[in-house]
């Protein structure tokens, strides 16, 4: 047995990974149930190296949470405000001002908000077209599957129509939030008033079939079981086999403050690392596993690069969802600090846009560097 493994049940899993054989649900469960964290990390690192080499992606991005008013009432959510008078809706001027205030190049704006029944439909395409007019180079990654489902129900239009109009306005991709855990048990207890597993996956499939790439997430570390986590990952993998439309998977560690769920503690660092690793191993058809430093902290995000992650997300600027739920991390980091975080653990930072292409300004820099070398 490989000396890096103390749990002998991991040996056949490592063997499968080394031979490019897909892990099954039972393997996923074995991994989650194992206490051999270094061993799990080792196996995930082998998978990461085969898939992504030494490159770690990062992005110049910012978040816009256009409204916090939401009557859905998910038990774990500290972000939403039920009464309109307690919350806000950004005017387009405010959104554009925030976006223009970003210093220098901006590759991606990440836009999510509550399901606010008082907003008229036109608000959404107009928000995107105003952003595009203000910053034509910036990709707009906006609206989770939950928001798209809400729009379809609220404005009584098929998701396909909604997407077509948003695409015309400039939508480039969708974020991966709102998936929570694909479990009927948890859906009816924790977030019964929004899309469950079947609808979330159906809307994602519609996005992919209409040329819009999306991300996927899993909210873990509360009352879900390991079996439920494995089912979640397996369902994502099945849809990815069908459409190839997912770009990145982001494991979202539960934050316990200021919400209605009777779980008072956050998952531990080992549990977070294990979940990153098992995600990398189960999601063999996902190119990118993202360590979201905002919820892990910078140090743990760096460590997670040895547990299967190959993307560390972005500069962010102003994060509300996790900070209202108790995150003690900073609200933003500079581009140079992000790159240093990656370099300091021996990996190669690669700047990206929302579609994992290299932004134009990087190509220009590279050309300049090459020209300087030739001179």
The residue ranges that bind ligand V47 (CB under 6 A) are 76-78, 144, 175-178, 180, 215, 217, 219, 250, 252, 254-255, 259, 292, 313, 321, 325
For residue 71, what is the DSSP state? -
Residues 72-101 that bind ligand SF4 (CB under 6 A): 72-74, 77, 79-80
Residue with tokens 């061993």: 39
Beta-bridge mates of residue 58: 351
Report the partner that residue 87 touches, choosing among ligand SF4, ligand V47, none (CB closer than 5 to 8 A by kind): none
Q: Which of ligand V47, ligand SF4, none has residue 106 at its interface (CB below 5 to 8 Å by kind)? A: none
Provide, rounded to whole angstroms, the least separation between the CB of residue 27 and ligand SF4. Answer: 31
Q: Which of 27, 50, 45, 39 is nearest to 1 (CA)?
A: 39
The tokens 């220098």 sit on which residue? Answer: 104
Q: At 24, give phi and psi (nearest 5°).
A: -105, 180
- Which of these ranges, 54-62, 71-79, 87-95, 251-259, lies near ligand SF4 under the rule CB under 6 A? 71-79
Q: What is the layout of strands, in order, in the sheet containing 348-352?
A: 311-314, 55-59, 348-352
Q: Is there binding between residue 267 and ligand SF4 (CB under 6 A)?
A: no
Q: Which residues pair with 109 in a beta bridge?
A: 62, 140
Alpha-carbon Rg for the chain in angstroms: 20
Q: Are residues 44 and 307 in contact, defined by beta-carbon separation less than 8 angstroms?
A: yes
Question: Does 354 participate in binding ligand SF4 (rule CB under 6 A)?
Answer: no
Q: Which is nearer to ligand V47, 86 or 122 (CB)?
A: 86
Is residue 349 classed as helix, strand or coil in its secondary structure? Answer: strand
Interaction between residue 213 and ligand SF4 (CB under 6 A) = no
Tokens representing 343 are: 């370099």
* Residue selected from 28, 39, 41, 114 as contacting ligand SF4 according to rule CB under 6 A: 114
Interface with ligand SF4, residue 174, by CB under 6 A: no
- Which residues sit opposite 219 in a β-bridge? 252
Q: How far is the CB of 83 from ligand SF4 (least distance, A)?
A: 13
Which residues form the interface with ligand SF4 (CB under 6 A)? 70, 72-74, 77, 79-80, 114-115, 146, 191, 194
């Amino acid at each position: 047995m490989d000396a890096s493994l103390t749990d002998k049940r991991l040996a056949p899993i490592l063997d499968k990974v080394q031979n490019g054989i897909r892990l099954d649900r039972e393997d996923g469960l074995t991994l989650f149930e194992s206490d051999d964290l270094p061993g799990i990390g080792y196996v995930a690192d082998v998978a990461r190296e085969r898939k992504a080499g030494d490159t770690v992606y990062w992005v110049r991005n910012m978040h816009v949470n256009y409204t916090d008013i939401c009557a859905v009432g998910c038990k774990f959510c500290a972000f939403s405000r039920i009464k309109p008078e307690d919350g806000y809706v950004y005017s387009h001027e405010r959104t554009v001002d925030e976006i223009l205030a970003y210093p220098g190049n901006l590759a991606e704006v990440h836009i999510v908000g509550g399901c606010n029944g008082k907003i008229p439909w036109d608000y959404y395409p107009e928000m995107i077209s105003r952003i595009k007019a203000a910053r034509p180079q910036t990709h707009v990654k906006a609206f989770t599957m939950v928001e798209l489902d809400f729009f379809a129900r609220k404005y009584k239009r098929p998701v396909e129509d909604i997407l077509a109009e948003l695409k015309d306005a400039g939508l480039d991709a969708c974020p991966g939030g709102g998936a929570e855990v694909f479990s009927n048990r948890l859906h009816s207890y924790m977030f019964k008033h929004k899309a469950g597993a079947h609808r979330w996956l159906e809307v994602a499939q519609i996005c992919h079939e209409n040329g819009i790439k999306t991300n996927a997430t899993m909210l873990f570390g509360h009352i879900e079981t390991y079996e439920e986590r494995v089912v979640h990952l397996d369902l994502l993998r099945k849809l990815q086999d069908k459409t190839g439309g997912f770009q990145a998977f982001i494991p979202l560690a539960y934050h316990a403050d200021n919400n209605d769920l009777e779980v008072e503690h956050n998952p531990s660092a080992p549990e977070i690392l294990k979940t990153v690793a098992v995600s990398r191993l189960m999601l063999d058809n996902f190119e990118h596993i993202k360590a979201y430093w905002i919820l892990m902290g910078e140090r743990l995000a760096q460590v997670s690069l040895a547990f299967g992650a190959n993307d560390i997300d972005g500069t962010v600027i102003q994060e509300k969802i996790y900070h209202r739920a108790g995150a003690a991390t900073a609200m933003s980091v500079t581009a140079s600090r992000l790159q240093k975080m990656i370099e300091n653990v021996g990996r190669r930072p690669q700047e990206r846009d929302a579609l994992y292409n290299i932004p134009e300004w990087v190509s220009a820099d590279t050309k300049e560097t090459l020209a300087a070398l030739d001179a």
